[in-house]
Amino acid sequence: MAQGYRLIASDTPFDHGSGPEVRGSGIALLLAVSGRPIGTDEIAGPGVLGLLGTDAT
């Protein structure tokens, strides 16, 4: 699910992948990539909508 995105944790030394960036706490990133519900205010970056599957394109 996270393939094609760069995930960057703000509270742990985690930076993985390439593509549009998604930033947030480690737990918020884990919830997002596992398909669990998460508010868009918990993660940020140009890849958020695509990662959450709400990209309108």
Question: What is the value of pTM for the model shown?
Answer: 0.86
Q: What is the pLDDT of residues 5-53, one digit of tens each?
A: 999 999 999 999 999 999 999 999 999 999 898 877 899 999 998 998 8
What per-residue confidence (pLDDT) applies to 55? 61
Where do the structural domains in the chain lie, given as residue ranges? 6-51
Q: Which residues contact 22 (CB under 8 A, 6 or more apart)?
A: 5, 6, 7, 8, 29, 32, 43, 44, 45, 47, 48, 51
Say yes or no to pLDDT of 57 above 50: no
